[in-house]
Amino acid sequence: MNAAGLTAELQSAIALVSHEQDGQDIVVCAPVDDRDRRADGARAAALGYVACKLQNDFGTVKFVIERRQLADEDERDRRTINDLRRAGRLVRETQVIHSRPSNELLLGMPDVLAWSFRQEYQRKNPFWFAPFKAGTHVTQLPRASPDATIRSTASREARPRA
């Protein structure tokens, strides 16, 4: 596909997703530490923030998120949620279901929103995010200590499985 065709497809996707916007979209920007090659710490921080916010604001207990490439990556997401449950920050009934966008078509919508935000945040190009901006709450998480994230991830991975 040529550049003009790709641009037209992106504009169509953004028009579709922004048309369905309910004014309650959230974007969480979590800094990635250079030593965290797979951005596990940033993902855990963002997932934890979103899960707690949605549960506190709307009573959400079921989270359907995109299946990752490796099974251990999905397991890390479940551990993040389990850790928050144990800490009392999420209710016991909280569930995480991993699915593919081909099985859960609405999973594509957050990808469009995230891509649009990234164009403004990283490339300083506000064109793509403009249709979403008024109805989107953006949260910038503070940089976590990379050593703590690496230690935490390593200690969980070292735990024997029951």
Percent of the chain residues topping a pLDDT of 90: 38
Using the predicted structure, report yes or no on whether residue 131 has a pLDDT greater than 50. yes
pLDDT tens column, 62-116: 999 999 888 899 999 999 999 999 999 999 999 999 999 889 888 888 888 889 9
Cβ-Cβ contacts under 8 Å for 151 (sequence gap 6 or more): none
Burial of 47 (0-12, 13-18, 19+ CB in 10 A): buried
* Joined tokens for residue 79: 């551990």
- pLDDT of 148 reads 43
- pTM score, two decimals? 0.73
- pLDDT of 95 reads 94
* Joined tokens for residue 25: 């979209």
Burial of 144 (0-12, 13-18, 19+ CB in 10 A): middle
The Cα angle at residue 47 between residues 96 and 45, in degrees rounded to 5? 145
Q: Are 141 and 31 in contact (CB under 8 A)?
A: yes
Write down the mean pLDDT value for the chain: 82
- pLDDT of 23 reads 63
Q: Are 141 and 29 in contact (CB under 8 A)?
A: yes
Q: What is the spatial distance between Cα 86 and Cα 105, in angstroms, rounded to a whole number?
A: 31
The Cα angle at residue 130 between residues 3 and 32, in degrees rounded to 5? 80
- pLDDT of 144 reads 63
